[in-house]
C-alpha cells in the first residue's frame, strides 16, 4: 500500500503464499488479516476495497496483513473452489500471530469471495483464537455457504444497495436468522465505486474504541 509495505512469503498448504504487511506508526494496537475477492475474476490483495479496509485498520493503529490466495500473484497452487482458500487464510493467520507479534485485538476482514473465506476461517478457529472483530464487505452469500458468525456484536456486515454481483437480498437472507445487522450503503454497487471513503468511515466508526 505504501513504500513501507513489507513483502514476504510464508509456506501455505499448497506452497508459498505471497503476503504484505503494513505497520502503523508506533506500537501496533492489534492486528488485521484481510482476504481478497475471487481469484478467477481478478481478485488480489491489492484490490481497492481490500486496501480501503486495510487503511482503516492502519488508521486505528493496527498492523495489517494481506495475502494472495493460492495461484494468485506469486502464490503457489491453483484455485480450489473455496476449500483450499480457507486453508490458506488459516495458514496466514497462524503465521501472522508469529510475525506480527502485536498486542491487542485480532481482526479478520474479507471482501466478496474473501468475505466468505473470512467467515469460514473464523468459524474454524479455536474459541480462544477467534477474531475479536470481523468485517464482511459484500460477502459471497449466494454462491458460497458461509457459516453463521460466532459473535454478532463483533461482526460488521456492509453491503451496497445496488450490488449486482452479490444481491443485497442474499446477504439479508443470510444475516436475518442470525439477527445480524446489515449496513446498507445507498446507491452503491459491488465494488463501492465512488464510495470507498464512505466504506472506510463505516469501518472506522464500527471499530474505533
Q: Residue for cell digits 488508521?
A: 59
d(CA 69, CA 79): 8
d(CA 195, CA 172): 21
pLDDT digits (tens, 9 = 90+) for 150-193: 999 999 999 999 999 999 999 999 999 999 999 999 999 999 99
pLDDT digits (tens, 9 = 90+) for 132-149: 999 999 999 999 999 999
Report how many helices (DSSP H) and strands (DSSP E) the chain contains, helices first. Answer: 5, 8
pTM, full prediction: 0.96
| Domain ranges across the chain | 6-207
> Superfamily for 6-207?
Alpha/Beta hydrolase fold, catalytic domain (3.40.50.1820)
Amino acid at each position: 500500500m505504501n513504500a513501507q509495505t513489507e513483502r514476504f512469503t510464508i509456506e501455505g498448504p499448497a506452497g508459498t503464499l505471497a503476503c504484505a504487511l503494513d505497520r502503523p506508526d508506533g506500537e501496533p494496537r492489534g492486528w488485521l488479516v484481510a482476504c481478497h475477492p475471487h481469484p478467477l475474476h481478478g481478485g488480489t490483495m491489492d484490490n481497492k476495497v481490500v486496501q480501503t479496509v486495510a487503511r482503516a485498520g492502519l488508521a486505528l493503529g493496527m498492523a495489517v496483513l494481506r495475502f494472495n490466495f493460492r495461484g494468485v500473484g506469486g502464490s503457489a497452487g491453483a484455485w480450489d473452489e473455496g476449500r483450499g482458500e480457507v486453508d490458506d487464510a488459516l495458514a496466514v493467520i497462524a503465521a501472522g500471530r508469529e510475525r506480527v507479534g502485536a498486542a491487542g485485538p485480532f481482526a479478520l476482514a474479507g471482501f466478496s469471495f474473501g468475505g466468505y473465506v473470512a467467515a469460514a476461517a473464523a468459524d474454524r478457529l479455536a474459541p480462544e483464537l477467534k477474531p475479536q472483530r470481523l468485517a464482511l464487505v459484500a460477502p459471497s452469500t449466494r454462491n458460497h455457504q458461509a457459516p453463521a458468525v460466532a459473535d454478532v456484536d463483533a461482526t460488521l456486515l456492509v453491503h451496497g444497495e445496488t450490488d449486482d454481483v452479490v444481491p443485497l437480498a442474499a446477504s439479508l437472507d443470510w444475516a436475518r436468522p442470525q439477527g445480524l445487522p446489515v449496513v446498507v450503503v445507498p446507491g452503491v454497487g459491488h465494488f463501492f465505486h465512488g464510495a470507498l471513503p464512505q466504506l472506510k468511515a463505516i469501518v472506522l466508526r464500527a471499530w474505533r474504541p
